[in-house]
Structure 1
Amino acid sequence: MKLKTWFHQWGSPRWFFEKTKPVSTVLGLLSLVFLSLGVIWGLAFAPEDYQQGNSFRIMYVHVPSALLCQSLYLFMGVAGFIGLVWRMKLTDVAISAAIPLGMMLTAVALITGSLWGRPTWGTWWEWDGRTVSTLVLFFLYFGIYALRQAIEDSSTRANATAIIAMVGTLNIPIIKYSVDWWHTLHQPATFTITEKPAMPSEMWLPFLVMVIGFYCFAGHNVISRMRIEILRRESRSAWVKSIATSGEKAR
């Protein structure tokens, strides 16, 4: 299959809807397995941290949430770019599907970070570079969500959303490198491609399992939301009506 053909197939709402049901199902099952294993392993069997005690276990929710909310925003930025350049309708569907989960995960990252910061730093909140830039990310998600609710014209809404999503990606490197650029209470990355993790395997293995589980859940959630949104937008098309008709006959 030629790359151009493959690219345009993925831009077709009908083709996407028909091909992604098994993908969504598999990702949902994988997320259930990995998250269940990660929660039990991380909360019940991982050893205590010699400095933070059991409070470090918040890491198993806080860090995956923080990583994933950034990844989802990058996903929105890329989708926005593709939508503006190639005018693919599916990209706006993808952005609309990613916003609720991204906003929720950013809130989870901020809340769990506050809970973790109290016993570790002695304060619920610190206006350091990473915390502030993550708060900015939450406002970006919320702003895009509010903008989509305020604009009625679908074309104008899609273009405005795409532009803000693209511009907002400039905040992601700030979140990532703020610990290197400014004095901050946040520690540098524990995991890097070139270096061994700075924690024992009994701690980082369940963390890795949780990260995989979070990303599988995000894939399942976003694809499921996209499929629902496609049905809503294409409700007058013949292929959607045929699905509704076949569903009624199955009853």
Structure 2
Amino acid sequence: MANWIPLWMHKLGSPPIFYRFAGVLRPWMIALALLTGIIALYGGLVLAPADYQQGDAYRIIFIHVPSAWMSLFIYGVMAVASFIALVWRLKLAEIVAMESAPIGAAFTFITLVTGSLWGKPMWGTWWTWDARLTSELVLLFLYLGVIGLYHSFEDRRQGARAAAFLAIIGIINVPIVHFSVNWWNTLHQGSTVRILGPSKMSGNMIWPLLTMMAATKFYYIASLFGRVRTDLLAMESGKDWVRQIAEKEAAR
């Protein structure tokens, strides 16, 4: 059992196998992202009723909250992939970690921007050094730090290893972001959707939110697969399997 996990990861981590696997799955992920995204937006912007306190201003949560969830989720994926890359020296794990960083940074940026747009009518200010907002800003800096460190080395694998260490160290900020509303006095409202226990939102508001959450997951997978496939072709450009792909494309 101890050897099964590394063996499984090495088989899945084969660049030509993953390239083909991602190529088959990616169009389905794009289609699912578009379908669920449209359903979620229609449900959240049209079907869901106005909030009794915030009116229609609350509808930004259908972008803000899924983006915030994804900013934490993707960082977790990046940290786990970084750990695998450092321990088992898997090239694919390095690529997954490094290509997750720009996507995670984009979701974190969207979270901060939509949070500011939401905060202005609710709090009367675009920004406040609230525990949740500040820790989310730190998360953006961590993403940018990983991206910058990765590209600061001429040797890409050396840069990936250095950035992987930063990604693993920075994971400590993820629970801080998540639990900040419970640990400190904060303007940011607490969790309204709970897996365990009753949620504080009505069902006709929750389902578009969860559907948008699914849409962002599908988008992340599709985007990651596309970025990893491109990176694999660049890094494996001298290998036979890449030459075969190039020959097939040229023959079309």
1:84-233 to 2 correspondences below 5 Å: 84-233=86-235
Whole-angstrom CA distance in 1 between matches of 2:10 and 2:151: 28
- Structure-2 residue corresponding to 1:73: 75
Given the alignment of the two structures, is residue 246 of structure 1 paired with residue 226 of structure 2, yes or no?
A: no
Pairwise CA distance, 1:15: 1.4
Q: Would the aligned equivalents of 2:146 and 2:164 in 1 still touch at CA under 8 Å?
A: no
Note the alpha carbon deviations across 1:202-244, whole angstroms, 9 max, x for none. 1111111111101111111111111111011111111100110
Note the alpha carbon deviations across 1:59-78, whole angstroms, 9 max, x for none. 00000001101111111100
- Structure-1 residue corresponding to 2:40: 38
Whole-angstrom CA distance in 1 between matches of 2:157 and 2:120: 45
Note the alpha carbon deviations across 1:62-100, whole angstroms, 9 max, x for none. 000011011111111001100110000111110221111
Q: TM-score, normalised by structure 2?
A: 0.96
Identity %: 39
- Uncovered stretches (5+) of structure 1, i.e. residues with no partner: none
Q: TM-score, normalised by structure 1?
A: 0.96
Whole-angstrom CA distance in 1 between matches of 2:167 and 2:143: 9
Secondary structure, counterpart of 1:183 in structure 2? coil
Pairwise CA distance, 1:143: 1.2
Pairwise CA distance, 1:154: 2.3
- Uncovered stretches (5+) of structure 2, i.e. residues with no partner: none
Aligned partner of 1:236: which letter? G
* Count of residue pairs the alignment pairs up: 249
Q: Would the aligned equivalents of 1:65 and 1:109 in 2 still touch at CA under 8 Å?
A: yes
Q: Would the aligned equivalents of 1:9 and 1:16 in 2 still touch at CA under 8 Å?
A: no
Note the alpha carbon deviations across 1:112-136, whole angstroms, 9 max, x for none. 0000001111111111111000000
Whole-angstrom CA distance in 2 between matches of 1:115 and 1:73: 24
Aligned partner of 2:158: which letter? T
Whole-angstrom CA distance in 1 between matches of 2:224 and 2:90: 17
Note the alpha carbon deviations across 1:131-166, whole angstroms, 9 max, x for none. 000000001111111112211122321210110000
Pairwise CA distance, 1:35: 0.2
